[in-house]
Amino acid sequence: MAEVALHHSDHASDAGGLLLILRKESTCFLFALLATLLKPLARLSKSLQSVTGNVVDAMQHANVVIEQLDAIAESDFACVNTRRVQMTDAARAAGAHIENDDMPDMKLIARKYVKSITNNLKARFSDDVGKVAQLQGILKAKSDATFAAVAALF
């Protein structure tokens, strides 16, 4: 019995520490950032899992997501800040104390995070991958494929 109580008290302590961390506006900014960035990435993930999709379609979806993420960063994370304000206002209205920690470098951190994601997407969905997919389409469409159409890709 003492072992069960000890186990639960450890979790209570962890939960209490987590609540102390979560009471900062910078943490709300990170939650808002993740909520904003994960939506287009989730749509991309679903489109990649589609049975009917192909590489060319996936590249188009990836490019749209890259543009969306770049637009979020270029707007100086205005939509993220709006969401953060809504979150902190709702928490305060519910009686929670949210510390104003001046969010020291949150936009810089967010910018690095978005850049890392977009660089990763650009590497995975590069033009070379698209050219290979188009090559497959040309060769599949024409049984007597002329190499002029293939050479135009490269």
Tens digits of residue pLDDT in 8-39? 555 555 555 555 666 888 888 998 999 999 99
Residue 3 maps to a domain: no
% of residues, the chain, pLDDT over 70? 71
Residue 83 maps to a domain: yes
Could you give the number of structural domains in the chain? 1
Residue 143 maps to a domain: no
| The pTM of the whole model exceeds 0.75 | no
pLDDT at 114: 96
Tens digits of residue pLDDT in 110-152? 999 999 999 999 888 877 766 776 676 677 776 655 666 656 6
Residue 119 maps to a domain: yes
Residue 136 maps to a domain: no
Inter-axis angle of helices 25-48 and 55-74, nearest 10: 160
Distance CA 136, CA 54 (A): 11
Domain hosting 67: range is: 25-125
